[in-house]
């Protein structure tokens, strides 16, 4: 799904260090800590049927010289935070409508795409990830949000001018993309904090899910500053996702100008999330393995389960520095014989061991997943041997099992379907 109307004015943000994911949605407190309270916003499965509204006003890129907020706001608790397993991103972009014309595969950030020749209407297939398309190079200018799915896009930037270049009508101007950024890379819980005062001061509300109406007794929620801890957020000044949103990436927004707003009212918001694993070539399993990071050094290809990569005959290198999964979905193992830490390897590129979520550089065995990825379902049991007691059935990604009313202890699992 493309959020085709989600074109935001340009804004400058202050980068923050990575933080942990929260569990409240929302919770109220002061800037020194979070207290209980608030209400949970419902998760919205569809946002396509939005009513029409005006585009946010065009603004110059703001410059902020103020401090974002006190250190105690920025200091995220790290205790108990394990490694984050990222997923490979992918976009297939076609230069013409109808998924025709020149085809480009995009795997990661593109700082400058201005040389690409495109028609006024292009086609985009987002395989994985939550992406932002920018009007200008180096991730500047107005933004357009791309979520997983297929879509055709008419040039969104022309909505801001009465005529095109050299007097051309707006509809005849060719599409120009400045840059692409992959923002949503993992299953971490999206988290955003709204503050009553500038620079992260005053009362604080924290959201970790979609909220279609944040008003209280008809009064809009007012935010003078915002911190996006994780995720890609669409923030609306009207309830029920009406009108065009502000597109907020991870970072700090110390005042209204920082996210291009003139009105502090925030009445609804929605985070962009990742979908389930996608396999484009299930019948053509293939992994290209490089001995060094960044796809350097000797390489070789495998298309079957490998019990011990270190015992393969020459010219296979003895180490795995980077991977290109060309087809199928695989599991990589830390040790030989399919033992040790496991890493899900979807189709995509992994420049080093950190990108496949490794605990170390060791990747010694590989196994192809031979199953249907549609309609996944499993049951978690707190007790061993599926005995009586707390259990929960899941059919979609869940970043925190406690969100489903289930605890943190699981001693047996029944996989009903999928992976």
pTM score, whole prediction:
0.72
The residue written with tokens 């923050």 in the block is 16
> What CA–CA distance (Å, rounded) separates 15 from 221?
25
- Backbone φ, ψ for residue 69 (5° rounding): -170, 170
Q: What is the DSSP letter of 197?
A: S
Show the tokens assigned to 68.
Answer: 């974002």
What is the per-residue pLDDT for 121?
92
Residues contacting 79, CB < 8 A, separation 6+: none
Q: Compute CA distances 405 → 30, 45, 130, 142, 391, whole Å.
A: 27, 20, 27, 40, 9
> What CA–CA distance (Å, rounded) separates 260 from 11?
6
The CATH architecture assigned to 286-368 reads Sandwich (2.60)
CATH code for the domain defined by 86-184: 2.60.20.10
> What CA–CA distance (Å, rounded) separates 344 from 229?
25
Instruction: Give 107-125 as a 3 state SS string.
Output: CCCECCCCCCCCCCEEEEE
| Tens-place pLDDT, residues 348-373 | 999 999 999 999 999 999 999 987 77
Contact 260, 8 (CB under 8 A): yes
Percent of the chain exceeding pLDDT 90 equals 58
Tell me the domain boundaries of the chain.
15-45+59-80+186-276, 86-184, 286-368, 377-417
> What CA–CA distance (Å, rounded) separates 21 from 192?
10
> What CA–CA distance (Å, rounded) separates 96 from 311?
48
Q: 3-class SS at 73?
A: helix
Domains 15-45+59-80+186-276 and 86-184 share a fold: yes
Q: 3-class SS at 12?
A: coil
Buried b / exposed e over 216-250, threshold 16 CB at 10 Å, is eeeebbebbbbbbbbbbbbbbbbbebbbbbbbbbb
What is the per-residue pLDDT for 166?
52
What is the per-residue pLDDT for 365?
96
CATH 3.90.1720.10 fits 15-45+59-80+186-276, yes or no: no
Q: Give the Cβ contact number of residue 78 at 10 Å.
A: 10
Cα of first residue to Cα of last residue in the chain, in angstroms, is 24
> What CA–CA distance (Å, rounded) separates 136 from 309?
44
> What CA–CA distance (Å, rounded) separates 123 from 150?
8
The residue count of the chain comes to 419
Radius of gyration of the chain from its Cα atoms, rounded to whole angstroms:
23
| Tens-place pLDDT, residues 364-415 | 999 999 877 778 899 999 999 888 889 999 988 887 888 888 988 999 999 9
Q: What is the DSSP letter of 306?
A: B
Q: 3-class SS at 266?
A: strand
What is the per-residue pLDDT for 54?
30
Q: What is the DSSP letter of 72?
A: H
Contact 135, 60 (CB under 8 A): no
* Chain centre distance of CA 7: 17
DSSP alpha helices (H): ranges in 92-223? none
Per-residue pLDDT of the chain (419 residues; tens, 9 = 90+): 334 344 444 443 444 434 333 333 343 333 322 222 333 332 222 222 222 233 322 223 343 323 344 333 334 434 344 577 889 999 999 999 999 999 999 999 999 999 999 999 999 999 999 999 999 999 999 999 999 999 999 988 876 554 444 555 555 667 899 999 999 998 888 999 999 999 999 999 999 999 999 998 889 999 999 999 999 999 999 999 998 899 999 999 999 999 999 999 999 999 998 888 888 998 899 999 999 999 999 999 999 999 999 988 877 778 899 999 999 999 999 999 999 999 999 999 999 999 999 999 999 999 999 877 778 899 999 999 888 889 999 988 887 888 888 988 999 999 988 87
């Amino acid at each position: 799904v493309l959020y085709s109307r989600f074109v935001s004015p340009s804004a400058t943000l202050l980068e923050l260090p990575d933080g942990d994911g929260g569990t409240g949605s929302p919770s109220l407190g002061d800037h020194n800590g979070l207290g209980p309270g608030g209400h949970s916003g419902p998760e919205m499965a569809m946002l396509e049927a939005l009513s029409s509204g005006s585009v946010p006003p065009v603004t110059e890129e703001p410059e902020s010289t103020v401090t974002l907020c006190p250190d105690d706001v920025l200091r995220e608790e790290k205790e108990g935070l394990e490694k984050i397993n990222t997923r490979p991103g992918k976009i297939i972009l076609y230069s013409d409508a109808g998924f025709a014309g020149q085809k480009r595969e995009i795997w990661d950030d593109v700082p400058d795409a201005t040389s690409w020749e495109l028609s006024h209407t292009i086609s985009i297939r987002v395989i994985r990830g939550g992406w932002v398309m920018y009007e200008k190079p180096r991730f500047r200018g107005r933004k357009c949000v791309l979520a997983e799915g297929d879509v055709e896009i008419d040039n969104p930037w022309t909505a801001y001018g009465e005529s095109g270049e050299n007097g051309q009508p707006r509809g005849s101007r060719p599409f120009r993309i400045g840059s692409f950024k992959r923002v949503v890379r993992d299953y971490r819980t999206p988290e955003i904090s709204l503050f009553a005062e500038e620079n992260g001061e005053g009362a604080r509300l924290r959201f970790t899910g979609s909220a279609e109406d944040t008003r209280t007794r008809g009064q809009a929620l007012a935010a003078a500053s915002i911190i996006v801890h994780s995720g890609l957020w669409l923030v609306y000044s009207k309830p029920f996702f009406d009108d065009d949103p502000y597109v907020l990436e991870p970072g700090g927004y110390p005042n209204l100008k920082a996210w291009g707003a003139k009105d502090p009212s925030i009445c609804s918001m929605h985070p962009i999330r990742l979908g389930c694993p996608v396999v484009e070539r299930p019948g053509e399993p293939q992994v290209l393995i490089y001995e060094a990071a960044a796809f350097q050094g000797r390489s070789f290809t495998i298309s079957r389960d490998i019990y011990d990569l270190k015992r393969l005959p020459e010219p296979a290198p003895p180490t795995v520095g980077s991977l290109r999964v060309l087809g199928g979905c695989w599991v990589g193992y830390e040790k030989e014989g399919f033992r040790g830490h496991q890493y899900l390897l979807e189709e995509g590129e992994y420049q080093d061991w950190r990108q496949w979520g490794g605990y170390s550089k060791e990747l010694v065995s590989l196994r192809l997943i031979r199953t249907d990825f549609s309609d996944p379902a499993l049951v978690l049991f707190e007790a061993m041997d599926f005995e009586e007691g707390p259990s929960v059935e899941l059919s979609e990604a869940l970043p925190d099992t406690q969100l489903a009313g289930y605890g943190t202890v699981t001693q047996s699992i029944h996989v009903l379907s999928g992976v």
